[in-house]
């Protein structure tokens, strides 16, 4: 039978309360002891067991690196190691692996906690599975790239001639996407003419001006002639503050059909 003084009993009860509270937080919690060799785990809560599939008796006494795997980013591992070595707070998102080898994105926060009456610092690691958020962000990035790609469709219509119909607004990101896409296409196809059709653009602004200007420069270097089609009277009036197309040695036509007729006549 164990006998405790009143103070000791209160301390034990307090420790049990803290342990129970940590067990029910919605995250994995790990405590490690840097004064022992290889900074081993000395405590895990139930959240860690549920998150990783490892039971406490399987991991106590081991360093947390067993959660790492073949696709874990070494830069994040280095960030953790340097933070621990210098007793700094660490916050990373790192690819870890569960006991059944399933990968998951771990939002890991490590805090050095000094216990004054013990004269010792421990590390408390808080872990959250953020795999669904990371996957959602990846999908958003993929769909965003696809939308940009599809908003710059280059349509081959005859040997050595393609049309790029410009639709909607042009911002800096779309401008760069357009230049990259055209550059790759012309380099692969070795085309003589690229027709930039503006019939679906109703507002001329600085981004469109820069797009035409930079596209013309790029194609000149690559030996391809840029032609403009679909330039409406109101569109031409709006373009006046920015540039005169004739100064760029650009030929303009009312329609793609008219441009093709001019090309065929040679």
Q: What is the pLDDT of residues 215-228, one digit of tens each?
A: 888 888 889 999 98
Is residue 12 assigned to a domain?
A: yes
Q: For residue 114, give both structure tokens.
A: 């000094």
Q: What range defines the domain where residue 183 resides?
A: 151-265
pLDDT band at 209 (very low <50, low <70, confident <90, very high): confident
Is residue 145 assigned to a domain?
A: no
pTM assigned to the model: 0.53
Same domain, 130 and 190: no
Average pLDDT, stretch 194-208? 77
Q: For residue 66, give both structure tokens.
A: 């067993």
The answer on pLDDT for 201 being more than 80 is no
The answer on pLDDT for 151 being more than 60 is no
* pLDDT per position as a tens digit, 222-262: 899 999 888 766 555 555 555 555 455 678 888 888 888 88
CA 107 to chain centre: 16
Average pLDDT, stretch 43-62? 95
Higher pLDDT: 146 or 228? It is 228
Same domain, 29 and 114: yes
Residue 190's alpha-carbon distances to 51, 95, 156, 165, 194, in angstroms, are 55, 43, 12, 19, 11
Is residue 180 assigned to a domain?
A: yes
pLDDT band at 94 (very low <50, low <70, confident <90, very high): very high
Same domain, 13 and 124: yes
Looking at 136, 169, 197, the residue that finishes a domain is: 136
Average pLDDT, stretch 47-53? 95
The whole-angstrom separation of Cα 129 and Cα 134 is 10
Is residue 144 assigned to a domain?
A: no
pLDDT for the residue 79: 96
* pLDDT per position as a tens digit, 169-197: 666 777 777 788 888 888 888 889 989 88
Burial string for 197-231 (b: 16+ CB within 10 Å, else e) reads bbbebeebbeebbbbbeebbebbeeeebbbbbbbb
Same domain, 166 and 130: no
Q: Which residue has the tokens 């406490």?
A: 56
* pLDDT per position as a tens digit, 3-18: 334 454 455 455 665 6
Same domain, 54 and 114: yes
Same domain, 49 and 155: no
> The domain spanning residue 226 has which CATH number?
3.30.750.24
With residue 81 as reference, give the H or E element that holds it.
Answer: helix 74-85
Q: For residue 16, give both structure tokens.
A: 């049990």
Q: Which residue in 145, 142, 251, 146 sits closest to 195, CA to CA? A: 251
DSSP state of 25: S
CA 159 to chain centre: 39
Domains in the chain: how many in total?
2
* pLDDT per position as a tens digit, 103-143: 999 999 999 999 888 889 999 999 999 999 888 877 666 55
Is residue 146 assigned to a domain?
A: no
Q: What are phi and psi of 253, to 5 degrees?
A: -140, 155
């Amino acid at each position: 039978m164990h006998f405790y003084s009143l103070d000791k009993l209160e301390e034990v009860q307090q420790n049990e309360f803290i342990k129970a509270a940590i067990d029910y937080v919605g995250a994995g919690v790990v405590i490690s002891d840097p004064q022992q060799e290889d900074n081993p785990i000395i405590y895990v809560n139930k959240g860690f067991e549920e998150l990783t599939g490892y039971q406490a008796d399987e991991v106590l006494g081991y360093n947390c690196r067993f959660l790492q795997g073949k696709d874990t980013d070494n830069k994040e591992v280095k960030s953790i190691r340097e933070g621990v070595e210098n007793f700094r707070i660490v916050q990373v998102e790192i690819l870890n692996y569960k006991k059944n080898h399933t990968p998951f994105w771990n939002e890991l926060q490590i805090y050095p906690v000094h216990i004054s009456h013990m004269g010792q610092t421990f590390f408390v690691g808080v872990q959250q599975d953020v795999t669904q958020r990371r996957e959602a962000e990846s999908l958003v990035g993929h769909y965003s790239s696809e939308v940009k790609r599809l908003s710059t469709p280059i349509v081959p219509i005859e040997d050595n001639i393609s049309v790029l119909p410009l639709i909607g607004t042009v911002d800096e990101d779309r401008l760069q996407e357009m230049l990259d896409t055209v550059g790759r296409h012309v380099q692969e196809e070795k085309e003589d003419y690229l027709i930039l059709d503006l019939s679906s653009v109703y507002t001329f602004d600085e981004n469109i001006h820069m797009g035409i200007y930079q596209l013309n420069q790029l194609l000149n270097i690559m030996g391809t002639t840029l032609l403009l089609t679909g330039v409406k009277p109101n569109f031409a009036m709006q373009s006046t503050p920015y540039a005169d197309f004739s100064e760029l040695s650009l030929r303009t036509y009312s329609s793609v059909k008219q441009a093709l007729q001019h090309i065929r006549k040679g």
